[in-house]
Amino acid sequence: MSPPPRSAKAVTRARVRGGRTTRDPSVAAAVEQALASHVDAALLAAGARDPERGTVTDRPSGPPAARPVACYVSLPAEPGTGPLRGALLARGRPVLLPVLLPDLDLDWVRDPGPGGPGTAAGDLGGDPLRPGGPRLGTAAVASCDLVLVPALAVDRAGTRLGQGGGSYDRALARAHTAPGRRPGEGGPLVLAVVHDDEVLDDLLPREPHDVAVHGALTPSGVVLLR
């Protein structure tokens, strides 16, 4: 029997993963520094977003200074988030890091910054998918006004292509529907962190459980989608 046909998502995953393994490692530092340079733009987009539409408005207001931002510790093939996390911490924003649970859901811990077990340089001294520290609970992501998520690619309609485990789909659904958010808040601004060429013009298939993102953070800047 011939093997079953691969889904469009599986084909795109394989292509993007292959492309990441062939990227010039000498430009990795420039990529992560470029991502960090757009922190203010991402925070401004989160603070000026219209929660009813998920788009940026002309309001001059910015996000509350103490509101946390969800980020993550990048894996070797991903665009580096060490300087990005450092830039957020330098602006006084608490950073929450995901902890992968056995059921593939996500708990969260505080990034303690330089000198701690989850430093801004990304050196956890252990498993980057399971950073140490007091657990804050799966609902902690709902306290954020900006969530930066890993992705292999994202299309112009905001469909995010992840690794296939569904961890972030669960976390983002929880963030958008969590009780206790202020009236009118529709959840955090969600940006997928990808390379410039991983923002795809061709639309990806979207399944019922897929939670769309509002945009992408790339080395060239913040790209708002949908």
> Beta strand pairing status for 160-161 and 153-155?
antiparallel
Q: Determine the Cα–Cα distance for residues 140 and 119; give it in Å rounded to an integer.
A: 20
Taking only the tens place, the pLDDT of each residue in 68-99 is 999 999 999 999 999 999 999 999 999 999 99
Report pLDDT for 7: 79
Q: Determine the Cα–Cα distance for residues 57 and 15; give it in Å rounded to an integer.
A: 36
What's CA 37's distance to the chain center, in Å?
16
8-207: CATH topology: Rossmann fold (3.40.50)
Q: Domain map of the chain by residue range?
A: 8-207
| Range scoring the smallest mean pLDDT among 19-28, 57-66, 69-78, 146-155 | 57-66
- Rounded to 5°, the CA angle 202-81-222 comes to 45
Taking only the tens place, the pLDDT of each residue in 107-164 is 999 998 875 544 443 445 478 999 999 999 999 999 999 999 999 999 999 999 998 8
Tell me the whole-structure pTM to 2 decimals: 0.85
